[in-house]
Amino acid sequence: MAIKLSRRQFLAAMAATGLSLRMPALRAASGEKAIVRAIPSSGERLPVIGMGTWRTFNVGGDQQLLQERTGVLKRFFELGGTLVDSSPMYGSAEDVMGEALDTLNAHDRVFAANKIWTRDGNATRDQDRASRRKWGVQRFDLQQVHNLLAWEPHLETLKQMKAEGNIRYLGITTSHGRRHRDLARIMEQEPLDFVQLTYNVLDREAEQHLLPLAKERGIAVIANRPFQGGSLFRRYQSEPLPGWAEESGCSNWAEFFLKFIVSHPAVTCAIPTTTSVEHMEENMGALYGKLPDEEQRRQMADYVAGL
């Protein structure tokens, strides 16, 4: 039986098909390959979009919000994400993550990245143990010294723990562009697997020295605050995406901001945070399709700076 379509219906159907092809859920379901980057020290490949838990997963004993966050994590895994990052600094976020992983029975799907956050340089193992109990994991895939706090003793212990097989990778973190000089010195001297730093379309100081250094030293880079704590959306969401954004593989602002970050050759993954399944789906759109090239990246940065 022939189906007659009006011109308007035909165009609507074509648009819907085009839009649906851009939906990360369909892309994941259709077997489209997620964009991955190798961890330089091992060659293990990681999806370029991870998930942070700062502020978003600290919901205490709120069962309703716990359920909502579990939904966000579920969608993250469904759309091909693996790396989740948390810290003892983030209130109840580690407990909430543990409960969500239990509910989803997803301990084997997560690349668990956590941090050591204590001034007591002798407390590395104790804090790692406490965090593992909260997450419900046997060991962390990645354990990082948070914000360079007491980094020397913690890093020494983390090296021992890695040698013993109690963690798989070690790293060190900073944020908000702080202490880059110190971080560079550590990157030059220590055998790091990962560094975590703030990098986004507006905060680009890391491009000057840290990202080239990471590339040179074979250190994986996790970019935090990819949306500048949400302020990029507050500033630009009402603005139109440039006409050429599609050519750069971006169909919304979340993809635009994230693809700018992960298209830098030194960046291994970005860790946006969200409390909404819908936003998670937008974020995970950056895990698929093409990435902007060097010229397009320049164009993206110029466009945002010019708004």
- Residue 178 binds to other proteins (criterion: CB under 8 A): yes
Q: What's the Cα-to-Cα distance from 192 to each of 33, 45, 172, 186, 237, rounded to whole Å? A: 29, 17, 8, 8, 37
Q: Which residue, 176 or 290, has its beta carbon nearer to other proteins?
A: 176
Say if residues 42 and 194 touch (Cβ distance below 8 Å): no
User: Helix 93-104 to helix 124-135 angle, to the nearest 10 degrees?
Assistant: 40
Residue 238 CB contacts under 8 Å (≥ 6 apart), including other chains: none
CA-to-CA distance for 64 and 50, rounded, in angstroms? 24
Residue range at the interface with other proteins (CB under 8 A); choices 88-96, 126-134, 163-171, 211-219 = 88-96
- Residue 181 binds to other proteins (criterion: CB under 8 A): yes
Q: Which residue, 218 or 230, has its beta carbon nearer to other proteins?
A: 230
Tokens of 192: 């790091």
Of 6, 17, 64, 238, the residue at the interface with other proteins (CB under 8 A) is: 64
- Residue 278 binds to other proteins (criterion: CB under 8 A): no
Number of H helices, E strands in the chain: 12, 10
Of 59, 187, 206, 214, the residue at the interface with other proteins (CB under 8 A) is: 59
Q: Which residue, 132 or 225, has its beta carbon nearer to other proteins?
A: 225
Say if residues 224 and 173 touch (Cβ distance below 8 Å): yes
Q: How far is the CB of 173 from other proteins (least distance, A)?
A: 14
- Residue 62 binds to other proteins (criterion: CB under 8 A): yes
Residue range at the interface with other proteins (CB under 8 A); choices 42-50, 59-67, 100-108, 131-139 = 59-67
Residue 161 CB contacts under 8 Å (≥ 6 apart), including other chains: 124, 125, 128, 143, 167, 170
Q: Is 74 strand, coil or helix? A: helix
Count of Cβ atoms closer than 10 Å to residue 121 Cβ: 16
Q: How far is the CB of 178 from other proteins (least distance, A)?
A: 6
Q: Which residue, 157 or 274, has its beta carbon nearer to other proteins?
A: 274
Q: How far is the CB of 90 from other proteins (least distance, A)?
A: 5
Q: Is 114 strand, coil or helix? A: strand
Q: Which residue, 96 or 113, has its beta carbon nearer to other proteins?
A: 96
Q: Which residue, 36 or 277, has its beta carbon nearer to other proteins?
A: 277
Of 33, 129, 133, 176, the residue at the interface with other proteins (CB under 8 A) is: 176
Of 79, 93, 192, 262, the residue at the interface with other proteins (CB under 8 A) is: 93
Q: Which residue, 23 or 150, has its beta carbon nearer to other proteins?
A: 150
Q: What's the Cα-to-Cα distance from 282 to each of 172, 225, 231, 255, rounded to whole Å? A: 28, 16, 17, 7
CA-to-CA distance for 150 and 199, rounded, in angstroms? 23
Say if residues 172 and 145 touch (Cβ distance below 8 Å): yes
Say if residues 81 and 50 touch (Cβ distance below 8 Å): yes
Residue range at the interface with other proteins (CB under 8 A); choices 11-19, 57-65, 241-249, 284-292 = 57-65
- Residue 56 binds to other proteins (criterion: CB under 8 A): yes
Residues binding other proteins (CB under 8 A): 54-56, 58-62, 64-65, 89-93, 148, 176-179, 181-182, 185, 229, 275
